[in-house]
Amino acid sequence: MRFKKTIHLLWILLFFASCTTSREKRIIPSATSTSSIIALPSQVITQSLTPSPSKSPSPTITLTLSKVQIHILTAAPKQTQRAQETNRVRETWLAAHLSKTPKPELNDKSHKTVKETSTPTSAPTTTTGPAMTMLAVTPQYLGTSLPETREPISLENYHNLAKVAQWGRGEILGVAYSPDGSSFVVGSTYGFTRYDIPKLAEPPIWVAFDPPYVYQSLYFSRDGQYLLLENGRVRQVYYFSNGRLADQDSSKVDWAKTTTMMRYGDEPEAVSPDGKKRFKFSIAYTQISPNLEQSTREVYDNQTEDLLYKLPDETIWVLYSDYHQPLGCDLDSFSMCGNVYEPSRSDPYRVAFSPDGNTLTILYRAWNLYYSNQFSVMRVYEMKDGKLISQIGNYTHPVETFSYSPDGKTLLIGYVDGTVQLWDINKQTDTFNAHSFNTYIDDIKYSPDSRFLLIQRPSVLEVRSTRDGSLNSSYTSETFVLSPLGNVIAIGDKEGNIALEQIDSGKTILTIKAHKDLIFTLAFSPDGQTLVSAGQDCMIRAWDVATGNFLHYYKKTIVNAYGFDFTSSRIFIDYLHFLPGLDQLIGFGSWATVVNWNASSGATNYIVESPPLEYWQGMVTLNPHFPEFFSLDMANNRFFIDNNSYDLDTGKVSGEYQLPVNLAAYCSPFGPTTQDGKILFTLGYKKLQGRICILDAQDLHMIESFTVFPRESTLSGEISWLYISPDGSQLIIVMGDGAIYVYQINP
């Protein structure tokens, strides 16, 4: 049901009390801030740690109802890193369709409605099927060649499938110096790299954990023999020498705990190594707003309990615009809850006193953003008086964790993007940098000849060999698309540039200045002669691939998702796709809007506007949320918005997604199929969490399944998705932390 202005006003008045007790929980990484839409002192507003382009502050429209204020930002959009997730429905369909919350009742008005015309979803069969024993093969890491003979995976040989490689070491979780200071380690779920201080110019030594483990803190034992991996109150002890699980009671080992994890509500405090000082923090409301809090950080004499000083620097604030992308070209943000625009305070998350007693270092994160590492920065203070010495990291390069060297003169820092750094505290500069770890993957595709794997991570596109995972080339990139003609990719960056590149040689074919701002998505026509781009400037343009010449525009789309006179806006398009055999281009964008254009002329064929959801993340939603997932089903001439289906020719509602009747229990119905068309690989869930289902591709019954990680394991870093190479010989499983598991038929 479309929201009306009168309904909006009533909801604001009736529900504002409950609205003010809730916070916006959805985390959007790496947004860019230009201004705030809350009346706060300038010293608070400018605490945003995301670099801002130089432009004038955006005007706002303020609607006042009694004591309630709604703030609408209505300027041109800022330059942000917009999530490239809308074409990954099959990766997220499981959550959207197999565990749906109640859906709103939808009406039937000119492409804006959906009638539920289908019968109820059939229950899947209950058998979980037999478990397959994977062949015991030691996986190889990047740079080690895999067997040259690659046999296509099939029904006849899948029993010989083996995990032959792991490409990538995952995200940094912990760092620590050895007690003698001769080396330091940087750890992930899968193991750690050991850097010897006298040999920093040489490659580090990799030691795999057996088994892998997810943790928050990593510490050495004081004798240097063990490593402690700590996740809250759960601990595991590993041998430093070989990474194997140690049969050792952690409570009987003297651990060199160089940092202290702190959480608000857990009586947070940290004590200096000599036991003379204690750090505490508390929360108090500001005089600016009854909902705005600031942290008070204090250092006490640990013996007398006398207050020595309070840290004089102001609370770090995460602004709404730091974690929310613009909604459209003409409507930056909208909320029925005025308090969602209030800044989120950052609290001490990890604290350490230096061993030499000279400095205090604090890693800050926003508590009500689930302590997200996307908004994680460090500050270093003088121990004697609390004076701020330096700030390390920002919202475009956030810090994951840190540790002091034994002499207290150097900080070992692990960043969210996988960078490792040594920081000289006195000189306030870095003395060493390395990049041995990685972050999550946004998108991944094989080259048509299966020789290369194209991996889109945040702002970086890697082109890697499928023979050994080695890096062939890399590009600054926000999105990319493969040409149907073969050895060519188109890359779009945050400056609005398009580059056509040869995959194998890395040679640039041509460049196009296509947009004024970030490029969201690209699409090649089926014949490979035309390239279409959509950007944050809300322009959609067609280009001649041979010359780079501009061909024509696609008609802009304006949507009023909230029903106010001032909430109309041109939409962003996050995903584009040419429909094979038809002279049509389809796009999906802001407020779950689908647009179908004539591909040749750019004229609009139809628009489908999605109504707001009544339920979001299992709760009734006052702040309007919209569907998030889009998928094409060319075989049945339809597309899906969440689990509602629409006719591809007309945009009219055609029903609702139904699970296949014979689908094996706890298995997704989607995934890659082998070349012989007989096997479908899919993700398991619930009872099959952490397993891959091997299904009969025709009737979807379970053949077997195999374990990627044990369901009861603490390796909860989920599987993102799985893919089969075009030649059918390689199956890859992408993990949520950016590591890639590689499976092939063992010769």
Residues contacting 248, CB < 8 A, separation 6+: 226, 237
Q: Model confidence over 136-161: pLDDT tens digits?
A: 555 666 667 887 778 999 999 999 99
Question: Do residues 220 and 227 lie in contact, with contact meaning Cβ atoms separated by under 8 Å?
Answer: yes
Phi, psi of 187 (to 5 degrees): -115, 150
Question: Which range, of 241-250, 301-310, 357-366, averages the lowest pLDDT?
Answer: 241-250
E-assigned strand segments in 441-495: 443-446, 452-457, 460-465, 471-476, 479-482, 488-492
Residues of the chain with pLDDT > 70, as a percent, come to 78
- Reported as a pLDDT band with limits 50, 70 and 90, residue 75 is very low
Quote the Cα angle for 460-463-466, to 5°.
140
620 exposed, middle or buried (CB, 10 Å; 0-12, 13-18, 19+)? exposed
Which of the two residues, 639 and 56, has the higher pLDDT score?
639
Residue in this structure with the two tokens 């061909």, named with its chain if needed = 551
User: How far apart, in whole angstroms, are the C-alpha atoms of residue 462 and residue 471?
Assistant: 7
- Reported as a pLDDT band with limits 50, 70 and 90, residue 130 is confident
**pLDDT of the residue at 713:** 55
Other Cβ atoms less than 10 A from the Cβ of 727: the count is 16
Query: Token pair of 54, please?
Result: 């130089």
pLDDT greater than 60 at residue 81? no
User: How far apart, in whole angstroms, are the C-alpha atoms of residue 243 and residue 208?
Assistant: 6
**pLDDT of the residue at 6:** 27
According to DSSP, the β-strands at 644-647 and 638-641 are: antiparallel
Other Cβ atoms less than 10 A from the Cβ of 394: the count is 15
Q: Which of 175, 182, 241 is nearest to 209 (CA)?
A: 241
Question: Do residues 202 and 193 lie in contact, with contact meaning Cβ atoms separated by under 8 Å?
Answer: no
User: How far apart, in whole angstroms, are the C-alpha atoms of residue 365 and residue 350?
Assistant: 9
Please count the CA atoms within 13 angstroms of the CA of 400 that sit on its side-chain side. Answer: 26
b/e code 657-696 from CB counts within 10 Å (16+ = b):
bebeeebbbbbbbbbbebeeebbbbbbbbeebbbbbbbbe
pLDDT greater than 80 at residue 3? no
pLDDT greater than 80 at residue 568? yes
Average pLDDT over residues 368-375: 91
Report the chain's terminal Cα–Cα distance, integer Å: 58
Other Cβ atoms less than 10 A from the Cβ of 534: the count is 27
Peptide bond into 203 cis (omega under 30): no
User: How far apart, in whole angstroms, are the C-alpha atoms of residue 246 and residue 87?
Assistant: 44
pLDDT greater than 70 at residue 714? no
Phi, psi of 195 (to 5 degrees): -105, 125
Please count the CA atoms within 13 angstroms of the CA of 541 that sit on its side-chain side. Answer: 23
Average pLDDT over residues 502-528: 96
Question: Which range, of 52-66, 337-351, 675-689, averages the lowest pLDDT?
Answer: 52-66
- Reported as a pLDDT band with limits 50, 70 and 90, residue 256 is very high
User: How far apart, in whole angstroms, are the C-alpha atoms of residue 742 and residue 735?
Assistant: 11
**pLDDT of the residue at 27:** 23
Its pTM stands at 0.82
Domains and their CATH numbers in the chain: 5-82 (no CATH), 90-125+453-745 (2.130.10.10), 171-257+405-437 (no CATH)
Other Cβ atoms less than 10 A from the Cβ of 107: the count is 12
Quote the Cα angle for 737-742-746, to 5°.
155
**pLDDT of the residue at 343:** 87
Question: Do residues 646 and 653 lie in contact, with contact meaning Cβ atoms separated by under 8 Å?
Answer: yes
HEC letters along 419-455: EEEEEECCCCEEEEEEECCCCCCCEEEECCCCCEEEE
**pLDDT of the residue at 94:** 43
Q: Model confidence over 155-193: pLDDT tens digits?
A: 999 999 999 999 999 999 999 999 999 999 999 999 999
Q: Model confidence over 663-706: pLDDT tens digits?
A: 999 999 999 999 999 999 999 998 998 899 999 999 999 999 99
User: How far apart, in whole angstroms, are the C-alpha atoms of residue 366 and residue 346?
Assistant: 4
Question: Do residues 498 and 481 lie in contact, with contact meaning Cβ atoms separated by under 8 Å?
Answer: no
Which of the two residues, 35 and 223, has the higher pLDDT score?
223
Phi, psi of 12 (to 5 degrees): -60, -45
b/e code 428-462 from CB counts within 10 Å (16+ = b):
eeeebebebbbbbbbbbbbbbebbbbbbbbbbbbb
pLDDT greater than 70 at residue 101? no
pLDDT greater than 60 at residue 552? yes
Average pLDDT over residues 442-457: 96
**pLDDT of the residue at 367:** 87
**pLDDT of the residue at 128:** 65
Question: Do residues 569 and 609 lie in contact, with contact meaning Cβ atoms separated by under 8 Å?
Answer: no
pLDDT greater than 60 at residue 88? no
pLDDT greater than 60 at residue 550? yes
- Reported as a pLDDT band with limits 50, 70 and 90, residue 284 is confident
- Reported as a pLDDT band with limits 50, 70 and 90, residue 267 is low
Average pLDDT over residues 32-40: 25
Average pLDDT over residues 97-111: 34
**pLDDT of the residue at 50:** 44
- Reported as a pLDDT band with limits 50, 70 and 90, residue 132 is confident
- Reported as a pLDDT band with limits 50, 70 and 90, residue 131 is confident
Q: Which of 298, 318, 257, 232 is nearest to 31 (CA)?
A: 318
The rounded mean pLDDT for the chain is: 81
- Reported as a pLDDT band with limits 50, 70 and 90, residue 711 is low
Question: Do residues 335 and 282 lie in contact, with contact meaning Cβ atoms separated by under 8 Å?
Answer: no
Average pLDDT over residues 267-273: 87
**pLDDT of the residue at 188:** 95
Q: How many residues does the chain have?
A: 747
User: How far apart, in whole angstroms, are the C-alpha atoms of residue 84 and residue 572?
Assistant: 12
DSSP string, 153-201: P-TTTGGGEEEEEEE------EEEE-TTSSEEEEE-SSEEEEEEGGGTT
**pLDDT of the residue at 265:** 59
DSSP 252: G
**pLDDT of the residue at 62:** 26
Other Cβ atoms less than 10 A from the Cβ of 575: the count is 22
Question: Do residues 185 and 229 lie in contact, with contact meaning Cβ atoms separated by under 8 Å?
Answer: no
Question: Do residues 344 and 366 lie in contact, with contact meaning Cβ atoms separated by under 8 Å?
Answer: yes
According to DSSP, the β-strands at 255-256 and 217-221 are: antiparallel
DSSP string, 122-163: PPPP----PBPPPP--PPB-TTPPPPS--PPP-TTTGGGEEE
**pLDDT of the residue at 159:** 93
Average pLDDT over residues 256-272: 83
pLDDT greater than 50 at residue 33? no
54 exposed, middle or buried (CB, 10 Å; 0-12, 13-18, 19+)? exposed
- Reported as a pLDDT band with limits 50, 70 and 90, residue 712 is low
Q: Which of 327, 343, 331, 287 is nearest to 46 (CA)?
A: 343
User: How far apart, in whole angstroms, are the C-alpha atoms of residue 596 and residue 100?
Assistant: 27
**pLDDT of the residue at 337:** 74
Average pLDDT over residues 100-104: 31
Which of the two residues, 438 and 92, has the higher pLDDT score?
438
**pLDDT of the residue at 613:** 86
Average pLDDT over residues 449-473: 95
Question: Which range, of 66-70, 383-387, 532-536, 700-704, averages the lowest pLDDT?
Answer: 66-70
pLDDT greater than 80 at residue 460? yes
Q: Model confidence over 575-597: pLDDT tens digits?
A: 999 999 999 999 999 999 999 99
Question: Which range, of 639-653, 676-690, 711-725, averages the lowest pLDDT?
Answer: 711-725
pLDDT greater than 90 at residue 120? no
Average pLDDT over residues 352-371: 94
The strand order across the sheet containing 488-492 reads: 479-482, 488-492, 497-502, 508-513
Question: Do residues 463 and 503 lie in contact, with contact meaning Cβ atoms separated by under 8 Å?
Answer: yes
